[in-house]
Every structure is written in C-alpha cells, then in structure tokens.
Structure 1
Amino acid sequence: DYGNAERNSRDNGNGTMEAIYFGNIKVWGYGAGNGPWIMADLENGLFSGVNQRYNANDPSISHRFLTAIVKGGPNRWAIRGGNAQSGGVSTFYDGVRPNVAGYNPMKKEGAIILGIGGDNSVGARGTFYEGVMTSGYPSDATENAVQANITAAGYATGSTGTGLTPGTSVSLRATTACCTDRYLHHTGSTVDTAVVGSGSSATEKGNASWTVRTGLGSGSCVSFESKNVAGQYLRHQNYRLYLQANDGSSLFAQDATFCPEAGRNGQGASLRSLNFSDRYVRHYDNIGYIAANGGSNTFDSATAYSDDVSWLVSSPWAS
C-alpha cells in the first residue's frame, strides 16, 4: 500500500483509508486475468471497482515500471494506471463509492503509509520509487501531464551492456568464487548449475545454452528459451526455476520474464523477476531459484547473495 491511512496504526473501520494497492491477492478484490492489479485499499477491503471482489474492467498489469493512481472525492473515486516508461495512463474505474456499508461518506484520517496496511500489517514485498499524495481531486489532464513527465525521466533497469539482446544465444556463468566453472543449465525440467567445458558432451553444452527472447511478459525485459529444447523456457514456480513449455498463459509469460540489470557484485548481469521484483535468479546449492536478499527460505540467505545473483554473459556452449 501507499497512501492515506489511520493515524494510530489500527483498523479504525470501513472507509478510514484510501491507499494504492498493487499486487495479485484475491482475498478481497481482483480484476481481469491473473493480476497483478491496481486496487484501492479503503480499509477492510481491496476494491477493483464499485463491487466487492471481481470487477472485469480492472486489468492485469505487467509493466516493469508502473504509474498507479487512486483518487477520491465525495461519493466518487477512480483507479488509473499506465506504463511509467511510455504512453499515457488509462482509467480502469471512475464512479461512485463501493456499494458496501461504511464507504460513503469516507472517513479518511490523513496519515501516510508505504509498504504496510493501515493496521501496520505486512503482507507483501515490492519496489517503490516515488509517490505523492494530493489535496482535492486532480483532473485527468493534470495526471496525464504528470505521466508525461514520468515517461520523460526515462526509468530503466540499467541493463545497458549486459549482452542480453533478444535473438542472440548465450551461456550464463556463475561468478561466486566457489563456482566459476558452473553455468546455468537444465537437467530435464530442473534448472540447476553444472560444470561445462570444452570436453563436455554436446547435450551438456546445449543444456547450458539459451536463446534470449523479448520478454514474454514485458517487451522491456527478456525471456530465455532453451537452445536444445525449442519452445521451452526458463520460468519460476514457487520460487524454484524450471524449464517448461510455454502454455500461452499470462501467468507463464510473467513467470518466464526477467529484467536484466548490472550485476549486483559488479560483474555481468543480474536477472530480476518481472512479477516478484525483489527476487533475482540465484544459484543456491547448485539449484536455480528466484531469491530475495534475506528471508525465511534457506535460498534467501544473505550470505554471498550479490555473488550468487550475478552472472557473466558469455558465448553459448552450443552454436
């Protein structure tokens, strides 16, 4: 959440918040597709439109950088959003307050929150860059002008020079001191790391080679198709990396898309997950994951994290 919340960090009842929510939880409200969605946290409910739960006009969004807007006035509120790198903002809802008791009139209290619920609950992770809360109800024209300034700023992932150009083939070598002879590799559907060299079999060389594709879930990022198993891509499921066939779904497209950045240890490239933006492709005990820097999972260990998520982009072992 980011926005207007209770001053005492407690749930003070329906209508005591008006914050932007961005995510894919479906407990209270959701929109079309598999998410994530821009919604409004109005306390005791995430709303994607006038109705509780499902509202078809609130679309799933997969932009690497997102402009999200929630605005409200007397018995009126709106959800707007767009790609923070290009284009304008669209309106996903503009109308009366939700048809549930307690949300009209609103009882907003004016505190500002970031990354938590109004009752101080913590239920998600994400990356926030900048935001603003305004007094009053800004016009669409004002927000459109702000969006033009945002796109002009040129948000980018810092992938220049990583060598991950769609249409090329690469191998990805680990940079951790223990493992510099190991490459990101697949053994059947399992994604792991393996020692590969000039004496390796043609199969092993192919298993450690990838064709870079324009991101299935975002054109500003990339996907990795297996060099020797056409149509199968690197994707994550439950934070584990697998090689799987593209089933054409929105979820697969997001799970199989990674945004290159300069290597976090100063070497090569790091690959940020499109739909879990605090997680990067990591090798841990020679198995591939998307991992956060610290967390409850063993593969989220902060030890050697920057090294484990940095990969040298090299010529492919398989031509």
Structure 2
Amino acid sequence: MNASTGPCDLYESGGTPCVAAHSTVRALFGAYAGKLYQVRRASDNATRDISVLKAGGPADSAPQDAFCAGTSCVITVLYDQSGHGNDLWYQGSDVVPGSPRSSPAKATTESLQVSGSKVYSLYINPGNSYWRDGHTTGVPTGSAPEGLYMVTSGIHVNGGCCFDYGNSETTRKADRAGAMDAINFSKQCWFGGCSGTGPWVQADLEWGLFPGGSSSWNPNQKALPHKYVTAILKNDGTTRFALKGGNAQSGSLTKLYEGSLPPNYSPMKKQGAIVLGSGGDCCKPDGGANDSAGTFYEGAIAAGYPNDATEDALQNNIIAAGYE
C-alpha cells in the first residue's frame, strides 16, 4: 500500500467517495495537508487550529501542547477533510446551540501514538457531542446509499444513549423510523435479550439500536473490547444493510450482519445531518444532554454502498497507521 493512501482515497477508488471525513489523529486523504480540529483554552478563550505534520500524515500536537500549557483546553470543532464543509461543532456552541448541560470535550484527556507521533483523541464523556446539518452539502438523504466507518475505543465506553457517528436528523428530534443511519458503539442493549455485555457495533436507525435485521438479538454479534476498534456500517437505503467490526491494531474485519433492513425501515428516510457522540434526539437548547461515553479517533461518511474489498483495504490502512 502506498504510504500516502488514506481511507478516503480507498473509498474514492471503490466508487464511493467520502462526503465527510473527520479525525483528531491523522489525515484521511493522502494529499490532505490542512487543519484537523480547533482547541480553545480556558485562560483567555483564545483558539488554535491543529493541523497535520505533513500531507497525508498524523496530527501535529506540539502546537497544541504549547498553546494549552499552564491552562486547560477543549475541542470546539472537527474540520471536514472532504472539501464539503461538513465541520462538526460541539452542541452548545454559537454555531450549534445546545442545552446548558452540553459542553465541548476536553482536549488532552487521552494521548496516543499514530504513525509514530503523539496525537490526541476526541474523548467524549456525558455532556459532550458534535453536530452538523449536511443535507445540502453532500450527506446522503432519503433512500440514497451510504457507507460509514469510525475508529473508536472498546475500553472507554458505557451504556448511555447514544454514542453514534453518522447520519442523523436535521431537526435534532427522534422523527421516525429510518430517519437516522449511524454507527453506534456501546454497551446498550436496546431491545433486550443481548448475549454478554458488549461493547457492540450496532446500527442506530432511529427508534432503536439494531444488532441485525430485527429487534431480536443477532447471534452473530460479537463484543469488541479492544483498545482500538474499527466499526463499519453500510446501508443501501432500500433493501439491506451491513455491520462489521474488528481490532484496529491487527487482524481482519468480522462481518456481524448483512441482510434485510428491519421491518418498517425500508425505504430509509435519512435527513442528512451528522452527529458524533450522541443520539439524534439530543442536546437542543430546550432539551437534555448526551449520556454516552466513547472515544473518536477518525471516521468518514461515503456516498454509495462500499464493497467488501474497499472495507478490507480500509482495515489494512487503519492497521498500517499504527495506533499505539
């Protein structure tokens, strides 16, 4: 694999281009040389954009360390690397107003190594979440097909609602079945009857977290308690969806489910917002705050239904990035 190939280059070559791409740890395109996220410090409310060390490379954390020295910092926005402008601002910001209990995630809770460089995760605790209305900027709507992935943690995770990344309501309300199409990674057992305690990769399609094609427990589900986890969802919008997961440091993906959409979810009715860290019905000024905990390292939304070869290459790319 070419060292300059990123996950979104793989989606593009597979005919399913990224329409949103977010990460605090690395570039998701081989040619991307821009900013990844913004931090704000407590001492004077000044902000600083954090970029990559080089095109296609890891985040440059040294400016963040210098900027935040002697005070504390939060992450206010994750910039979209796809060129579609789908930046994710924290719910509770001036850009995305939220409930008084909503706040941005602390910027320095977890550091790690990616590609041999020190970087920071987006470490989400209850009260933290991010959002964007992307329905006019490329995010699939209605029954249009869609693929999603994220790298998350099987260690920092809980059973609160709802640690999601993906397509959500523009209204920030639980509007109807099929209004969402987001990866959920948590210990939530929405419909009961689960085997074990997770955490699991499930699909938040609104009005439920689906481990497979129905509200019944999917016996092919598998807990993924790894330090770093690859989580994948794809949905053709009309007949079928798939869930995959694996260790982001080694090995292949496990296909947890591929088959029919749940009853009453075909066709999908996606609205085209993007949510990270909460469910779709969350965090409005007159509503509650996020109850979930989880960690986000990287993720993307692709237009179309990615093939298995693309997702296998994606897993290899993530392993090659060297999460440590």
Higher relative contact order (CA 8 A, sep 6+): 2
Q: Based on CA coordinates, which of the two structures has the bigger radius of gyration?
A: 1
**What TM-score do the two structures reach when normalised by structure 2?**
0.46
**What TM-score do the two structures reach when normalised by structure 1?**
0.47
